[in-house]
Amino acid sequence: MASVPYGPDMGHFWDGIAEGQFRYRKCNSCHTALPSGSWVCPECWSKDLNWEVASGSGVVWSYVVYHRPFSPKETVPYNVVLVDLDEGIRIVATVDCPDEDLYVGMPVESKFCEETSGKKLKFYPLEK
């Protein structure tokens, strides 16, 4: 599951999730990609931001496999990864593959899956 951003002006993000899109902020002044919860560019301090749609492709930057549940809802083992999206944003997610197949630098792509709680963003290894 991708990390969940909260805060002011997050309606565009949640509308995107409902429409099967992962949206992020991009600075109109210096073109830096920002995490969705950002309201000011950390590079140039501009507040002139725009919402963009991410491609959903990236690479695993780091990962951990949990063997003890973080919450009673989790079934162990499960992975938590940091994915560097092609747009330059790093997000927390999971990769739907056997944990022993994970590696740093693994190319992945995202897909939205329908679940009882709504749409969920999942990452899958890119076919070689």
pLDDT digits (tens, 9 = 90+) for 22-81: 899 999 999 999 977 788 999 999 999 999 999 999 999 999 999 998 888 888 999 999
Q: Where are the domains of the chain?
A: 11-125
Top-confidence residue, 95 or 128: 95
pLDDT for the residue 1: 45
* Cβ–Cβ under 8 Å, residues 2 and 22: yes
More confident residue, 26 or 11: 26
Q: Comparing C-alpha atoms, which of 67, 127, 54 is closest to residue 97?
A: 127
- Give the highest mean pLDDT range of 2-6, 60-64, 108-112: 60-64
**How does residue 88 score in pLDDT terms, banded at 50, 70 and 90?**
very high
What percent of the chain stands above pLDDT 70? 91
- Distance of alpha carbon 72 from alpha carbon 111, whole angstroms: 26
- Among 107, 128, 124, smallest CA distance to 58 is for 107
